[in-house]
Every structure is written in C-alpha cells, then in structure tokens.
Amino acid sequence: MAPTPASLRYRLVVPPHAALSFDPAVLGVGERAKGRAIGDVTFVTTVHGPGGGAEELGRVTGGTLERDRWGSVRYDLSRWSGKEIELELRTEATP
C-alpha cells in the first residue's frame, strides 16, 4: 500500500531472467471522498540503471482498473541481469 503521491525505491542486483510482476488496485474507483473523485491515480514503474540513466517501464492509470479489482502488470528486467539497479514504484495523483 502506498498513498498518493508516493515513491518507493529498492536497490537490487537483478538475477538472470528476472521479471517484476505486481497487481495494482485502487479502492473505490469512481466514488467521491471529501468532495474529490478517488481513483485518479497513476502507478509508474522506473528503473534507474547503473550508469545513472532512468527508464520508465510503464504506467497504469487507476481509472483504467476495474473498481475494487486487482490489475496485473509484468515487466521484463532481464536486460539488467547481473547489474545493480534502483527500482522505483511511484504513485501520482491526477489533478
């Protein structure tokens, strides 16, 4: 679980044939809370590589997820096999 906005970073050495799989969800998509629609959240996954460069692997917008259901995301990390990276999982609010 992570509030919006948030950024979680993990430093790791990528094993051979690695992939990142996770299931994002937004509870109460389309409902209103405190006068604001909830579910306007984007999940962003970024790899910060050994050379200092960053590559965004993908984005999933909360509005595209079915209400109170888990989505399914998978990213191939094999091109970073044997390298130390920083994996960033970020949530962003849509204004």
| Tens of each residue's pLDDT in the chain, 95 residues | 777 889 999 999 999 999 999 988 776 655 554 444 555 788 999 999 988 899 999 998 876 665 566 778 999 999 999 999 999 999 998 76
pTM: 0.81
User: Mapped to the 3 state alphabet, what secondary structure does the chain carry?
Assistant: CCCCCEEEEEEEECCCCCEEEECCCCCCCCCEECCEECCCEEEEEEEECCCCCEEEEEEEEHHHCCCCCCCCEEEECHHHCCCEEEEEEEEEECC
Rounded Cα distance, 95 and 93, in Å: 6
Evaluate whether 42 touches 61 at the Cβ level (below 8 Å). Answer: yes
